[in-house]
Amino acid sequence: MAYNEADLGNDLFNTGETMHLAYRRAKFLLDRWNSGMSDAVQNDTTEYYDGVTGIDIHNFINRCSELVTDYETNTSAKLNTVLKLSNLTLPDVT
């Protein structure tokens, strides 16, 4: 079975939705992190979850922040590109 235009369309929208969800989840997590959780998790080798340390958590939060910032810079040009290929209807996270 050959890869065709319909398959490409499905892959584009599936990937767009995945990228949209990644952005929304990162934004959601950052809101909670900034509401006080950042004070509760030390940026050290303390283990919080099954081998995940405070350093790992802080690094992950940094990656989430970078993703959100990257999507929202330049009048959200990257975010708008992703949203064009996402059929998801999600509630506002603000």
**84, 13 Cβ separation under 8 angstroms:** no
> Can you point out the beta strands (E) in 1-94?
47-49, 52-53
As a residue count, the chain comes to 94
Strand-strand pairing, 52-53 and 47-49 = antiparallel
Per-residue pLDDT of the chain (94 residues; tens, 9 = 90+): 788 999 999 999 999 999 999 999 999 999 999 999 999 999 999 999 999 999 999 999 999 999 999 999 999 999 999 999 998 887 665 5
Residue ranges per domain, the chain? 11-84
pTM comes to 0.86
